């Protein structure tokens, strides 16, 4: 599933269409996770003024005071094409034609992603945005904030990091890498962690996510950047997907937590 680094990489790749107009929209598949709003088809020669990210959501701000929201789900991706390179793919569910000769395609084999559209104020009031916690790269994510949020929780810290209402943007892959960097066991409960542990986790979150962004994200199954290139951070994993391998002479183990795979090194992470 694309996480914050992959979404941020996607947004950076979308810079060539900011300031240009959407001149045509095609909906090939009416329903992904939810139905795609038909009102999108009414857009005609409307400029994209800004593209931002909130958690794992990609938000297009348009000149008509509306926003388009993309969530990539488990396998979704956005690709920019020139007309000559545009190909027909059965998983290409949505297409934007831009007046600079580019075509933006939303591809999602599993159809767990979604697209939303509406007035700024309506979109900003959607529960999927208002329920988000602080962004994982925000200065608001710090030791005191995290300690306040988890000090009474009996939930393991790995699962807490995946809770988007506490921290927005971290998914399963980076949660394992963050906790290894912080040298904290994914099995530790929230109420077992002190302020200095929370400081380590918040610092490690930013360290790992920024490194992943610089490497263009992680390409394991479906993710590719806007131009089709692969991310490289998977080559720098310390523990994720490395069960049985050694790190600093110690063995990496895999366990299942809440139905998700967790990778860690018990000898290093306490």
Q: How far is CA 45 from CA 98, 165, 200, in A?
A: 9, 36, 48
Task: Classify residue 86 as left (phi > 0), alpha (psi -120 to 50) or beta.
Answer: beta
For residue 149, the Cα-to-chain-centroid distance in whole angstroms is: 22
What residues are labeled active site?
A: 2-3, 56, 260
Residues 182 and 269: their CA atoms lie apart, in Å, by 8
Long-range contacts of 245-252 (CB under 8 A, 24+ apart): 247/180
- HSE-up of 45 (CA within 13 Å, CB side)? 0
Residue 139's CB is within 10 A of a number of other CB atoms, namely 10
What is the H or E stretch that residue 210 is in?
helix 195-214
Give CA separation, 62 vs 20, 25, 59, 220, 258, in Å.
10, 14, 10, 33, 39
What is the Cβ-side half-sphere exposure of residue 75, based on CA atoms within 13 angstroms?
Answer: 13
Give the 3-state secondary structure of residue 24. Answer: strand
SS (H, E, C) 73-93: CCCCEEEEEEHHHCCCCCCEE
């Amino acid at each position: 599933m694309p996480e914050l680094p992959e979404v941020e990489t996607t947004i950076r790749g979308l810079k060539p269409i900011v300031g240009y107009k959407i001149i045509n929209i095609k909906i090939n598949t009416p329903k992904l996770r939810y139905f795609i709003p038909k009102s999108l088809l009414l857009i005609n020669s409307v400029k994209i003024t800004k593209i931002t990210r909130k958690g794992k959501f990609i938000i297009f701000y348009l000149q008509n005071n509306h926003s388009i929201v993309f969530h990539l789900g488990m396998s979704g991706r956005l690709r920019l094409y020139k007309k000559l390179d545009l190909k027909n793919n059965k998983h290409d569910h949505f297409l934007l034609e831009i007046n600079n000769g580019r075509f933006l395609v939303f591809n999602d084999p599993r159809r767990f992603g979604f697209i939303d559209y509406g007035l700024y104020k309506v979109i900003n009031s959607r529960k999927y945005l208002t329920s988000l916690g602080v962004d994982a790269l925000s200065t608001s994510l710090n030791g005191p904030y995290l300690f306040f949020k988890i000090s009474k929780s009996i939930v393991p810290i790995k699962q807490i990091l995946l809770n988007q209402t506490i921290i927005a943007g971290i998914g399963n892959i980076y949660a394992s890498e963050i906790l290894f960097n912080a040298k904290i066991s994914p099995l530790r409960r929230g109420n077992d962690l002190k302020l200095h542990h929370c400081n380590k986790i918040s610092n490690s979150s930013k360290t790992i996510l920024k490194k992943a962004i610089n490497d263009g994200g992680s390409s394991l199954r479906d993710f590719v950047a806007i131009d089709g290139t692969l991310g490289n951070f998977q080559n720098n994993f310390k523990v994720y997907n490395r069960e049985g391998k050694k790190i600093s002479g110690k063995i990496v183990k895999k366990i299942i937590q809440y139905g998700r795979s967790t990778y860690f090194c018990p000898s290093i992470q306490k």
